[in-house]
Amino acid sequence: MRNEEMIIRKKEHWFRMLFIWQGSVLPGLLPRLIMLFLLSLVVVYLHGTIFSFKVPLNPMPLTLFGFVLALFLGFRNGASYDRYWEGRKLWGALLNANRSLVRQALTLPGGTADPARIESFVRLLNAFTYALKHQLRGSDPTDDLKQRLDKEQLAEISREKYKPVILLNLMATWVARQRTAGRIDTNLQARFDENFDKLTDVVGGCERIISTPIPYSYQVLLHRTVYVYCFLLPFGLVDSLGWLTPFIVVFIAYTFVAFEAIADEIEEPFGVDANDLALTQMCQMIEYTTLESAGLPTGTVPNDALDVVD
C-alpha cells in the first residue's frame, strides 16, 4: 500500500537511522532480498554448481562490473534528483509569487478597509494552489475547491480540464475589476500580471516534469543489469566466502536495488510515495501564510503545515 504523503521527520540519531522502517524503501524490497538470500543458500549448498556444471565466476570481474554499474546508478539517481529538486524549486517559486500577490492586493486603496474583497482574491489564490496539486497527482480536487470557491466559481471550474489555468483567469478578472473601479493604475496591473506570469511558469514547469519521464528503454536496461548482477553474485563469491555468501549478497543487493527504487520514486516528484514532495503540507503552508498576510483567520489550516521549510 502506498503512503499518502511524503515522510517528513527531523534528523535522527545515527544509531536510530539503522532501524528506521517507515519512509525506507526496504519494506518494498524485502521479498526480492529474501529471494536472493534463498538463492544464495542454494548456491552455497551446491558449491556453485548447476546440474553438475561448476559456474566459473570469481570476484574480480564482478568487482569491476559492480564499479561500472555503480556509476550508472549514480547517473540515474542524479537525473531523478534533478527532477525532484526542480519540482521543489517550482513550488518554492509558487510560494513567493503567492505572497507577492497578496501583498499587492493589500496595498490597493481601501484594501484593508474591505476585507471581503481581499478574501475573495486570497481564496482564488489558495484554490489555484490546491487545484495544481490535484492536477499533478491526477486526483479529484472537488472537496478542496468547495472550501475555497463560491458556487458560481465552482460550477465554472468543474467543467474545465486545466483548472489552475482557469483560476488564473479568474484572478486576472478580479484585477481587471479593480482597474475598472479605479483602485489600481496600469502600472500596478502590470505588476499583478508579472506575478501571474510566474504562476503560469510554475504550472508549465510542473507539467513538463510530469509529461517528460526518463526514457523507458534506459530504465529497462538499468533494471535488468542490476538484477542480473545480483543473481550472479552468489556464484562469484561462494568459493571465497562460503556460508557468509548469502549475507554479503543481500547487503550488496540491497545497496544497488535500493538506489534504483529511490530513483524510481523521486523521478516523479509529485506523487504520493514516501519520498515524493509533500504537496499537501506545502499547500497548507502556502494557504496559512497567505491568510496570515491578509489578516484572515487561519484556524482551518493544520498547525503542522508550518513544519514544511519554505
List, for residues 250-266, the tens digit of each pLDDT value: 999 999 999 888 888 88
Between 169 and 181, where is the model more confident? 169
- 2 pLDDT more than 80: no
The conformation of residue 268, written as its DSSP 8-state character, comes to: S
List, for residues 196-217, the tens digit of each pLDDT value: 999 999 999 999 999 988 888 8
Sign of CA dihedral 97, 100, 101, 102: positive
What residues are paired with 53 via a beta bridge? 50
- If you average pLDDT over residues 9-31, what whole number do you get? 74
Burial environment of residue 118 by CB neighbours within 10 A (0 to 12, 13 to 18, 19 or more) = buried
HEC string of 68-107 equals HHHHHHHHHHHHHHHHHHHHHHHHHHHHHHHHHHHHHHHC
Mean pLDDT of the chain: 86
Choose from 43-47, 76-80, 86-90, 254-258 the range with maximum mean pLDDT.
Answer: 86-90
Split at pLDDT 50, 70, 90, the class of 11 is low
Q: Which of 9, 23, 11, 12 is nearest to 274 (CA)?
A: 23
Split at pLDDT 50, 70, 90, the class of 1 is very low
Choose from 2-6, 42-46, 203-207, 230-234 the range with maximum mean pLDDT.
Answer: 203-207
Of 51-55, 182-186, 230-234, which range is least confident? 51-55
Of 10-14, 170-174, 209-213, which range is least confident? 10-14
List, for residues 28-37, the tens digit of each pLDDT value: 889 999 999 9
Split at pLDDT 50, 70, 90, the class of 309 is very low
Q: Which of 199, 185, 212, 195 is nearest to 269 (CA)?
A: 212
- 182 pLDDT more than 70: yes
Q: What is the pLDDT of residue 114?
A: 66
Sign of CA dihedral 154, 115, 170, 203: negative
Q: Which residues contact 164 (CB under 8 A, 6 or more apart)?
A: 128, 131, 132, 135, 199, 203
Question: Which contacts of 224-233 are long-range, i.e. CB under 8 A and separated by 24 or more positions?
Answer: 225/69, 225/72, 226/69, 226/73, 226/256, 226/257, 226/260, 227/257, 229/62, 229/65, 229/66, 229/69, 229/256, 230/36, 230/256, 230/257, 231/36, 231/39, 232/57, 232/62, 233/40, 233/62
Helix axes 216-241, 59-106, angle to 10 degrees: 140
The bridge status of strand 49-50 relative to strand 53-54 is antiparallel
CA contacts within 13 A on the Cβ side of 200: 12
Between 129 and 215, where is the model more confident? 129
Q: Which residues contact 80 (CB under 8 A, 6 or more apart)?
A: 214, 262, 263, 264, 266, 267
**CA distances, 24 to each of 8, 151, 194, 259 (Å):** 12, 43, 41, 11
- If you average pLDDT over residues 13-20, what whole number do you get? 68
Domain residue ranges of the chain, discontinuous segments joined by +: 115-212+277-296
What residues are paired with 220 via a beta bridge? none
Percent of the chain clearing pLDDT 90 (strictly above): 48
- How is residue 226 written as a grid cell? 542490476
Split at pLDDT 50, 70, 90, the class of 296 is confident
Percent of the chain clearing pLDDT 70 (strictly above): 88
